[in-house]
């Protein structure tokens, strides 16, 4: 099954006898907008969302409290499972996640559901900007609450083995396989570091920014192009592949791109924010992986 879905395919699916559960996962990495106020995904959802979609708060449902394990460590599975069930997610129901267009947050929801055993999850390619159908404001949804509120789902998370890397596993994979750094190249090289205390990368990791996964419209490049891109970095189905970023969100987008290319990959959820929390861990700078 393809891991992404186009807007036209989603429109058809929503009219079908087995419509997907829609998760609105709008979120931004930046801590404040131009107004000086933090981005409010809940408010963006309230102002207009795809009809029937349920808002999912990335920081509360798709991650746990920031700390030594990183800015977006794995969520408590009971909390995550409860959030998914409230959204109407069941084991036998298809799910589509979307965000504001960059794809990172939707990919985090996709990855968590896949990692915990859901068999039918896709991401709306291009996010909400790709959707040309009607939008529903929260007031309209509340007016039809009894008709539109999702029935409680039955999904129970059951994590898969081998899909998650810790710091030691990421360091080992950088030597024995392919470890991709999904952040912007200047952060990988250590030229700038706007968030974490130290710039640079995990020794042996290769720079592979998520921006190269998509075209100018924010849609994923064709599978063949993605295979060629990752193949040039040595990432193929024949070698173990892992991905990290700053806090395990944009790296989920890279794992999704690899999935589109037919290449399985593990996610280092703690990523650079966890790696740099221990000053004893080595840091490489510059374009050279080592």
pLDDT digits (tens, 9 = 90+) for 157-183: 999 988 999 999 999 999 999 999 999
Q: What tokens were used for 114?
A: 């896949």
245 catalytic residue (yes or no)? yes
Active-site option among 245, 249, 255, 265:
245
Q: What is the mean pLDDT of residues 10-38?
A: 83
Query: In sequence order, what DSSP letters do the residues of 4-42 get, joined into one string?
Result: EE-HHHHHHHHTSSSPPEEEE----SSS--TTSSPP-HH
pTM over 0.85: yes
Across the range 71-82, mean pLDDT stands at: 97
Q: Given strand 241-244, what is the order of strands in its sheet? A: 164-165, 266-268, 241-244, 178-181, 206-207
Cβ 180 vs Cβ 254: under 8 Å: yes
Q: Which of these, 266, 287, 249, lies nearest to 70 by C-alpha position?
A: 249
List of residues 6+ apart from 145 with CB closer than 8 A: none
Give the mean pLDDT of 93-115. Answer: 97
pLDDT at 33: 44
Q: Is the pLDDT of residue 27 over 60?
A: yes
Q: In 3-state terms, what secondary structure has residue 190? A: coil
If one counts every other C-beta atom within 10 angstroms of the C-beta of residue 128, the result is: 21
3-class SS of residue 214: strand
Average pLDDT over the chain reads: 93
């Amino acid at each position: 099954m393809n891991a992404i879905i186009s807007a036209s395919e989603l429109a058809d699916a929503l009219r079908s006898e087995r419509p997907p559960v829609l998760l609105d996962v709008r979120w931004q990495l930046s801590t404040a907008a131009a107004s000086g106020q933090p981005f409010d995904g809940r408010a963006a959802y309230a102002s207009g969302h795809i009809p029937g979609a349920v808002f999912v708060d990335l920081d509360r449902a798709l991650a746990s409290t920031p700390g030594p394990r990183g800015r977006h460590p794995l969520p408590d599975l009971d909390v995550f499972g409860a959030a998914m069930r409230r959204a109407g997610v069941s084991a036998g129901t298809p799910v589509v996640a979307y965000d504001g267009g960059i794809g990172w947050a939707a990919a985090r929801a996709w990855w968590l559901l896949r990692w915990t055993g859901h068999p039918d999850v896709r991401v709306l390619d291009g996010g909400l900007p790709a959707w040309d159908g009607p939008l529903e404001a929260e007031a309209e949804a509340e007016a039809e609450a009894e008709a539109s509120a999702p029935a409680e789902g039955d999904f129970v998370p059951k994590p898969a083995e081998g899909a998650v890397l810790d710091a030691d596993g990421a360091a080992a994979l950088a030597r024995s396989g392919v470890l991709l750094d999904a952040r912007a190249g200047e952060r990988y090289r250590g030229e700038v570091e706007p968030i974490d205390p130290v710039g640079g990368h995990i020794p042996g990791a290769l720079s592979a920014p998520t921006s190269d996964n998509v075209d100018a419209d924010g849609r994923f490049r064709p599978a063949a192009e993605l295979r060629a891109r990752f193949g040039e970095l040595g990432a193929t189905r024949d070698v173990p592949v892992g991905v990290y970023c700053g806090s395990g969100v944009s790296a989920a987008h890279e794992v999704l791109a690899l999935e589109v290319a037919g290449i399985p990959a593990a996610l280092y959820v703690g990523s650079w924010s966890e790696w740099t929390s221990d000053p004893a861990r080595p840091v490489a700078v510059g374009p050279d992986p080592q």
